[in-house]
């Protein structure tokens, strides 16, 4: 038995947008539709419009009262919209002109058993597809009348067959963010009573649940713990604030909306923001003095967005934090319905074009397809021989047939012309204005003229600046048996070119942390000499000979030590300056290192001779010449010559004796 037997159909008159029960099928006369689902209005020679039954209509196909001009319903003739609410094109007021396909999915679907995958089990009899109550349904489970239109539980038409797919399914809807979804994925599985109403269950907390234990609201939509409508995979489709009487909005691809009807009169700055003024109350106003919000949308006193006729189009709760309307209405996903017949025609021709969200998915699929084709050809490049032959194995397909670049471009173009969205939508809405032989011919012409691929311009790289190696790098390379090489100069990095600084870094790194210049270690180029001022000054208190930290010669006399060290400092500095002039001319790092070592040894010998001379004078003053005479008799040379030719440290010899 069918649903609704004995129940009278009802139509809310006048309709309320908060109930979301208005459906355009209740106010349209008995008229044919084109393959896009648009009503084909009929007019007699005098310009009067009427439907097939002779009932008066306007240019939009809405039934009208011939006396008052009000729009009436086709059930009992009650007034739905007064003539004053109808615009100059004969369209019904907002928001009904946007949400004109309201229905509850449970009321338009049959009563089924479900398989383990959650899909309804559609039965068949002699008349076609039926549910378990033997009511006629489509393959997708929607109730149909004898003409193939979708009907509700009481047999009222709710959706024209021109808007349905070939297998009797509904096209996917948009949510407010522009995401496509299937309405069946948002409803629970519930049993139905004799009238077709759902019979939900309750859990221990008295929450409504379906037969699978999932939470649902009073209209049978799946919800989360916050009351947001979700799909079977738990993804949020509509927020709770988007619902009216627990019903979701029905936004189809053929829904029309013109954003100009809700915008004020203003200019835009270079950044795309509206240039607005303020009235005495601090409200934003456009050039005509109409109150708008910060985004330029016309608003009423409660800041609901209204159209130019003063009708509420978007309640304030639907606006985002920046006072903008839902994304699906401002991104070009929906076509605008204008007064111009030409613009209406172009809008309907372009209706089947994919949305920007589907275009992104299509681009991803195209890139994957191109990569797969490259992998099949092996991604082989030209070798030196191939480049001369101008032929490679990549120029041949699997059948060893050579193909040219133009053929490949045509293949790429044909792949770009195909998309999943376009084929699906063609099933719903038909061809996009070109069908038959003419459409095939246009498609062939399109394939014969492939688009030329633009060559990417190569970015010229700036020449790199090279930095010569410093003396420190030369010495480090020589220590490890290598040769220092030039390196690329990096921006913001300072390179040491001071030879003195480089030598100090290698020989005496501890000098960088001594603040008193008088206490810094005096060093040679290789770090062999290490004479401390303080240790030399204290030489007289530690025996006959003073000793520094690394065991080399030092003077006991404090004043004499200072003079010697001062003279030595001047000599080393002079040697540095002389060496800077000569070292800058040496290009071979090995020769430069050998030169530095030889100069160092000469300096060491000179310092030893100065020390011996000072020691000789000191001994002569004390009268200790007998020891030198005995030494000369024993070794055949005086002590100065012996020590000058010796490599031993005199302090070490004296300490051992």
Strands (E), 137-224: 150-151, 157-159, 173-174, 180-181, 191-192, 198-199, 201-202, 208-209
Rounded Cα distance, 149 and 143, in Å = 8
pLDDT at residue 544 tops 80? no
* CA 503 distance to own-chain centroid: 52
- The separation between CA 309 and the C-alpha centre of its own chain, rounded to angstroms, equals 40
Higher pLDDT, 26 or 647: 26
pLDDT at 514: 44
In this prediction, residue 315 has a pLDDT band, given cuts at 50, 70 and 90, of: very high
Out of 244-248, 383-387, 499-503, least confident range: 383-387
Q: How far is CA 291 from CA 259, 306, 307, 543, in A?
A: 17, 10, 12, 103
Please tell me the predicted confidence (pLDDT) of residue 522.
44
Distance in angstroms (rounded) separating the CA atoms of residues 522 and 505: 13
* Mean pLDDT, all residues of the chain: 75
40 located within any domain: yes
Query: Alpha-carbon distance 531 to 519, whole Å?
Result: 10
Domain-embedded: residue 449: no
pLDDT value of residue 95: 94
Prediction pTM value: 0.54
Higher pLDDT pick, 338 / 7: 7
**Is the per-residue pLDDT at 547 higher than 70?**
no
Residues facing residue 101 across a β-bridge: 23
| 488 inside domain | yes
Q: How many CB atoms lie within 10 A of CB 499?
A: 19
Name the nearest CA neighbour of 218 among 256, 181, 190.
190
Domain co-membership, 329 together with 475: no
Residue 26 has pLDDT above 90, yes or no: yes
What's the pLDDT band for 337 if we cut at 50, 70, 90?
low
Cβ atoms of 289 and 280 within 8 Å: the answer is no
**Mean pLDDT lowest among 12-26, 58-72, 256-270, 383-397:** 383-397
The count of domains in the chain is: 3
Query: Tokens 């209005």 map to which residue?
Result: 41
Give the residue-averaged pLDDT of 25-42: 91
pLDDT at 162 over 70: yes
Q: Which residues contact 381 (CB under 8 A, 6 or more apart)?
A: 392, 394
Residue 489 has pLDDT above 60, yes or no: yes
Between 77 and 470, the higher pLDDT residue: 77
Six token digits for residue 321: 């934090």
Residue with tokens 């204005």: 433
Beta bridge partners of 71: 64, 81
| Token pair for 592 | 């430069």
Residue range 324-346: mean pLDDT, rounded: 71
Q: Hey, which of 120-124, 396-400, 498-502, 517-521 has the most confident mean pLDDT?
A: 120-124
Facing residues of 202 across strands? Answer: 208
Report if residue 534 sits inside a domain.
Answer: yes
Q: Between 128 and 466, where is the model more confident?
A: 128
Contact criterion met (CB below 8 Å) for 242 and 315:
no
Q: Say which residues have a Cβ less than 8 Å from residue 361's Cβ, sequence separation at least 6.
A: 421
Lowest mean pLDDT among 242-246, 444-448, 535-539: 535-539
Residue 516 has pLDDT above 60, yes or no: no
Q: Does residue 125 have a pLDDT over 70? A: yes
Distance CA 502, CA 496 (A): 7
pLDDT for the residue numbered 305: 97
Q: Token match 């008229």: residue?
A: 31
Question: Which residues, at least 6 apart from 434, have a Cβ–Cβ distance to it below 8 Å?
Answer: 442
Burial class of residue 170 (count of CB atoms within 10 Å of its CB; 0-12, 13-18, 19+): buried
Encoded tokens for 299? 């608003």
Q: How confident is the model at residue 298 (pLDDT cuts 50, 70, 90)?
A: very high
Reported as a pLDDT band with limits 50, 70 and 90, residue 363 is low
Domain range enclosing 266: 259-337
- Tokens standing for 187? 């409803």
* Residue 180 burial (CB count, 10 A): 15
pLDDT at 417: 44
Q: pLDDT of 132-141, one tens digit each?
A: 989 999 999 9
Per-residue pLDDT band at 533 (split at 50, 70, 90): very low
How high is the pLDDT of residue 473?
85
Give the per-residue pLDDT at 576.
52
Which residues, 6 or more positions from 59, have their beta carbon under 8 angstroms from its beta carbon?
41, 43, 49, 89, 90
CB neighbour class for 23 (10 Å; exposed up to 12, middle 13-18, buried from 19): buried
Strand partners, 299: 305
How far apart (Å, rounded) are the C-alpha atoms in residues 343 and 348?
9
Is the bond preceding 95 in cis, omega lying within 30 degrees of 0?
yes
**Is 363 within a domain?**
no
pLDDT of residue 200: 94
Q: Which of 280, 306, 337 is the last residue of a domain?
A: 337
Structure-token match 């239109």, residue found: 149
Please choose, from the candidates 142, 118, 117, the residue with its C-alpha nearest in 3D space to the C-alpha of residue 210: 118
Q: Which of 422, 423, 434 is nearest to 349 (CA)?
A: 434
**Same structural domain, 333 and 480:** no
What is the pLDDT, as a whole number, of residue 619? Answer: 76
Q: Which of the pair, 105 or 374, is modelled with greater confidence?
A: 105
Asked whether the predicted pLDDT for residue 427 surpasses 50, the reply is: no
Is 367 in a helix, a strand, or coil? helix
Mean pLDDT in residue range 157-177: 94
Angle between helices 499-507 and 558-583 (to 10 degrees): 130
Query: Does the pLDDT at position 434 exceed 60?
Result: no
Last residue within a domain, chosen from 100, 130, 151: 100
> 124 in a domain, yes or no?
no
Q: What is the DSSP string of 312-365?
A: EEE-GGGS-TTSPPPGGGTSS-SB---S-HHHHHHHHHGGGSPPHHHHHHHHHH
Measure the CA angle with vertex 249, ends 352 and 178; round to 5°.
45
Averaged pLDDT, 521-528: 42
The confidence band for 373, taking pLDDT boundaries of 50, 70 and 90, is: low
When pLDDT is cut at 50, 70 and 90, the band that residue 609 belongs to is confident
- Is residue 563 one of the residues assigned to a domain? yes
pLDDT at 643 exceeding the cut of 90:
no
Q: Does residue 249 form part of some domain? A: no
> Positive or negative, the Cα torsion across 554, 560, 561, 567?
negative
Q: What is the mean pLDDT of residues 377-395?
A: 47
Average pLDDT, stretch 215-225? 96
Per-residue pLDDT at 189: 94
Residue 128 has pLDDT above 60, yes or no: yes
Instruction: With beta carbons less than 8 A apart as the criterion, state whether 597 and 538 touch.
Output: no
Which helix (H) or strand (E) covers residue 578, if one does? helix 558-583
C-alpha count within 13 angstroms, C-beta hemisphere, residue 16: 5
Average pLDDT over residues 282-288: 94
∠ Cα 478 482 486 (to 5°): 95
pLDDT band at 369 (very low <50, low <70, confident <90, very high): confident
**Domain final residue, candidates 100, 128, 145:** 100
Give 560-601 pLDDT, tens digit per residue.
444 444 454 455 555 555 555 544 454 566 777 777 888 888
Beta-ladder partners of 81: 71
Looking at residue 218, what is its pLDDT?
Answer: 95
Rounded mean pLDDT of 634-641? 62
């Amino acid at each position: 038995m069918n649903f609704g037997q004995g129940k009278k159909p009802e139509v809310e008159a006048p309709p309320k947008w908060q109930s979301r029960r208005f459906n355009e099928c209740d106010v349209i006369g008995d008229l044919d539709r084109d393959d896009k689902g648009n009503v084909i209005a009929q007019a007699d020679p005098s310009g009067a419009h009427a439907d097939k039954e002779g009932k008066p209509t306007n240019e939009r196909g809405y039934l009208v009262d011939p006396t008052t001009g009000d729009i009436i319903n086709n059930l009992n003739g009650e007034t739905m919209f007064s003539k004053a609410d109808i615009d100059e094109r004969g369209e019904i007021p907002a928001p009904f002109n946007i949400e004109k396909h309201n229905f509850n999915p449970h009321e338009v679907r049959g009563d089924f058993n479900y398989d383990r995958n959650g899909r309804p089990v559609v039965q068949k009899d002699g008349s076609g597809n039926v549910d378990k109550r033997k009511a006629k349904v489509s393959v997708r489970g929607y109730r149909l009348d004898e003409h193939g239109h979708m009907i509700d539980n009481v047999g009222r038409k709710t959706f024209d067959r021109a808007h349905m797919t070939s297998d009797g399914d509904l096209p996917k809807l948009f949510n407010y963010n522009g995401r496509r979804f299937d309405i069946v994925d948002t409803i629970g599985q519930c049993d139905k009573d004799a009238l077709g109403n759902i019979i939900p269950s309750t859990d221990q907390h008295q929450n409504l649940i379906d037969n699978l234990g999932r939470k649902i609201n009073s209209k049978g939509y799946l919800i989360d713990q916050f009351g947001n409508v979700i799909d079977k995979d738990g993804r949020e489709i509509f927020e709770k604030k988007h619902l009216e009487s627990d019903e979701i909005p029905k936004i189809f691809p053929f829904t029309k909306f013109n954003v100009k009807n809700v915008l004020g009169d203003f200019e835009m700055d270079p950044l795309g923001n509206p240039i607005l003024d303020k009235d005495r109350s601090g409200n934003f106003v456009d050039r005509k003095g109409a109150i708008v919000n910060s985004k330029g949308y016309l608003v009423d006193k409660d800041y609901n967005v209204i159209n130019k006729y003063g009708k509420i189009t978007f309640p304030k709760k639907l606006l985002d934090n920046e006072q903008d309307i839902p994304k699906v209405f401002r991104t070009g996903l929906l076509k605008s319905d204008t007064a111009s017949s030409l613009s209406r025609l172009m809008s309907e021709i372009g209706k089947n074009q994919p949305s920007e969200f589907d275009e992104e998915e299509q681009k991803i699929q195209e890139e994957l397809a191109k990569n797969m084709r490259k992998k099949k050809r092996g991604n082989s490049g030209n070798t030196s021989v191939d480049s001369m032959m101008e032929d490679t194995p990549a120029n041949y397909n699997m059948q060893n047939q050579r193909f040219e670049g133009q053929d490949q471009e045509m293949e790429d173009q044909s792949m770009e012309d195909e998309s999943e969205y376009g084929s699906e939508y063609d099933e719903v809405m038909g061809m996009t204005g070109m069908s038959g032989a003419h459409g095939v011919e246009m498609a062939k012409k399109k394939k014969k003229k492939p688009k030329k691929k633009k060559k990417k311009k190569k970015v010229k790289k700036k020449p790199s600046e090279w930095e010569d190696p410093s003396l420190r790098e030369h010495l480090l390379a020589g220590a490890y048996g290598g040769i220092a090489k030039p390196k690329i100069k990096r921006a913001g990095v300072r390179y040491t070119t001071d030879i003195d600084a480089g030598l100090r870094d290698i020989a005496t790194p501890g000098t960088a942390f001594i603040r008193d210049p008088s206490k810094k270690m005096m060093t040679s180029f290789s770090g062999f000499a290490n004479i401390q001022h303080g240790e030399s000054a204290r030489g007289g208190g530690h025996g006959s000979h003073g000793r520094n930290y690394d065991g080399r010669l030092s003077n006991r006399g404090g004043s004499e030590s200072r003079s010697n060290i001062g003279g030595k400092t001047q000599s080393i500095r002079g040697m540095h300056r002389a060496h800077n002039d000569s070292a800058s001319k040496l290009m071979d790092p090995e020769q430069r290192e050998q030169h530095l070592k030889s100069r160092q040894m000469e300096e060491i010998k000179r310092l030893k001779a100065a020390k011996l001379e000072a020691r000789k004078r000191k001994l002569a003053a004390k009268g200790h010449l007998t020891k030198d005479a005995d030494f000369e008799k024993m070794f055949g040379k005086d002590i100065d010559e012996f020590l000058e030719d010796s490599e031993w440290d005199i302090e070490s010899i004296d300490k051992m004796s």
